[in-house]
Amino acid sequence: MTDGPLIVQSDKTLLLEVDHPRAGEARRAIAPFAELERAPEHMHTYRLTPLGLWNARAAGHDAEQVVDTLIEFSRYPVPHALLVDVAETMSRYGRLQLASDPVHGLVLTATDRAVLAEVLKSKRTAGLVGARLDDLTVVVHPSERGHLKQVLVKLGWPAEDLAGYVDGEKHPIELSPTVPGRAPGEPSRPWEMRPYQEHAVDGFWHGGSGVVVLPCGAGKTIVGAGAMAKSGTTTLILVTNTVSARQWRDELVRRTSLTEEEIGEYSGARKEIKPVTIATYQVLTTKRKGVYTHLELLDARDWGLVVYDEVHLLPAPIFRMTADLQARRRLGLTATLVREDGREDEVFSLIGPKRYDAPWKDIEAQGYIAPADCVEVRLTLPESERMVYATAEPEDKYRLAASATGKKRVVEQIVAQHPDDQILVIGQYLDQLQELSDHLDAPLITGATTVRERQRLFEAFRSGEISRLVVSKVANFSIDLPEASVAIQVSGSFGSRQEEAQRLGRVMRPKQDGRTAHFYAVVARDTVDQDFAAHRQRFLAEQGYAYRIVDAEDLDAAEAA
């Protein structure tokens, strides 16, 4: 027995003692292959899953490394059966391979005859494959490349896709050696990709397709630009909204040889198709009379690269479209692979496995994102609201708790504690946000705000013309507000871990003066609001962020003092 921080159990759970001196080291070591399930104060629970182990395998971690990590940090002997299961699970990835064949086009080959026989026996693969060539090879219909990978993951035998990609239409793209100044008249300055961004591009390019996971504020757009420069082809970029599309365009013009004339926007407002085209998920998933009317965009050019921004938010129809894009290189960018709909396996099979993942704390230690102080402020509902909550229907309870009237007072106190900071107040419910906007005399941005007005307000916030902004979930992702240093969350999308990560990310751009970012979650005590908050915080706890819990009454006392 050693004095390690980890307890490895035969049910594939890992218990991490948070207060142990080596807890941080152990957390970083298991992060590539273990998923955090629960994160109370003293003991965090992780789980080993097949998908987590396969992602680790695809990213270059072998079973021996995983086993050695478990043994090194475990306090007690690791169950032998678990070690065997880890090795066997990871060995499943790559025993089936999709490959190009000069005669038959696309084939599925196996290193194990019984595995191929097993998957071909399944009714799920019927219609996806053609003639059996020999004991280890079967022809695959090229149009079913994506669908077959989906099925094989669900059967427990993920295929390694080595079939290669079409080159696509060539279009020269180079990274610029300098970047223009932000302000008019400000001189250009030299820049280069950060080491982890280069590693991310190399990991993606070596793998051919897949996902790069980087913290908010760590420059995922730069990774996309680097991949485009490697590819040197026409590129289709899919983004969450029009504001994000225009931020991508501006950053590409700043960082690459591309001009505005070479970049098209395909959104509700414009329908431009150019060598680099940036389209919103919304316009691609728009249906008229049951038909996706903009699918022709996928074939409008001979795209050499497809980039999926915020891949954790991909709508279901985009997965179906992606199944038909398997001959194109595909890059997914995200701060977290967590999907609340449980479709991580679809990302794995259709976009590709995780190719690079940088822990948030590592990027913070290098000075590329701001250190963050996370605080959960708990307030007690007054008796009248408590009774309304107690007798409410289950479907109404979260809205009642999340919109508690006392939260307005708490937000006001937090704002008063940060008089010199750029502050975002973020929430879910529009009536609550409108009330806060009026109370704080701060502009409000919601889904109903026009793109022009959003851009104007975001720019005013960036320049310091306004120091407070109230925003709905439209600001969860792909919004670059580098000087925002305080975020106050009053309500959210129930227990969404991905949303929590995105919202913290709004304040993690490194500050010019090196100051710490502050993230406050205002929560109603003894309600589902508190339960959802615990669930929302899981991903950030996995990244090493601990929430301090403060009583709202203590804010009153501090203000009085």
Model confidence at 307: pLDDT above 90: yes
What confidence score (pLDDT) does residue 561 get? Answer: 42
Per-residue tokens: 555: 């804010």
What is the rounded CA–CA span in Å between residue 232 and residue 265? Answer: 19
Identical fold, 178-363 and 370-560: yes
What's the per-residue H, E or C state across 492-551?
Answer: CCCCCHHHHHHHHHCCCCCCCCCCCEEEEEEEECCCHHHHHHHHHCHHHHHCCCCEEEEE
**Whole-angstrom Cα Rg for the chain:** 25
What confidence score (pLDDT) does residue 560 get? Answer: 43
What confidence score (pLDDT) does residue 373 get? Answer: 87
Residue 492 pLDDT level (bands cut at 50, 70, 90): confident
Model confidence at 556: pLDDT above 70: no
- Residue 277 near residue 283, CB atoms below 8 Å: no
Percent of the chain scoring above 90 in pLDDT: 55
What is the rounded CA–CA span in Å between residue 212 and residue 224? Answer: 10
Q: What is the mean pLDDT of residues 524-532?
A: 89
Which of 230, 234, 269, 265 is closest to 248 using CA atoms?
A: 265
What confidence score (pLDDT) does residue 115 get? Answer: 95
Q: Which is it for strands 137-140 and 129-134: parallel, antiparallel or unpaired?
A: antiparallel
Maximum pairwise Cα distance, the chain: 81
What confidence score (pLDDT) does residue 495 get? Answer: 62
Q: What is the DSSP letter of 297?
A: G
What is the rounded CA–CA span in Å between residue 455 and residue 247? Answer: 10
**464 compared with 538, residue with greater pLDDT:** 464
What confidence score (pLDDT) does residue 335 get? Answer: 83
Q: What is the mean pLDDT of residues 269-291?
A: 90
**541 compared with 73, residue with greater pLDDT:** 73
> Average pLDDT over the chain, rounded to whole?
88
- Which fold would CATH assign to domain 178-363? Rossmann fold (3.40.50)
Percent of the chain scoring above 70 in pLDDT: 96
What is the rounded CA–CA span in Å between residue 428 and residue 78? Answer: 44
pLDDT tens readout for residues 139-185: 999 899 999 999 999 999 999 999 999 999 999 999 999 988 766 67
**Highest-confidence segment of 42-51, 106-115, 491-500:** 106-115
Question: pTM for this structure?
Answer: 0.84
In 10 A of CB 203, how many CB atoms? 18
Domain 370-560's class? Answer: alpha beta
What is the rounded CA–CA span in Å between residue 13 and residue 63? Answer: 17
- Count Cβ neighbours within 10 Å for each residue of 307-343 and write b for 16 or more, e otherwise: bbbbbbbbeeebbebbbbbbbbbbbbbbbbbbbeeee
Strand arrangement of the beta sheet that strand 34-38 belongs to: 6-8, 13-17, 43-48, 34-38
DSSP string, 459-488: HHHHHTS--EEEE-GGGSSS---TTEEEEE
Domains in the chain: boundaries: 6-91, 96-161, 178-363, 370-560
In 10 A of CB 136, how many CB atoms? 16
Q: What is the mean pLDDT of residues 338-347?
A: 81
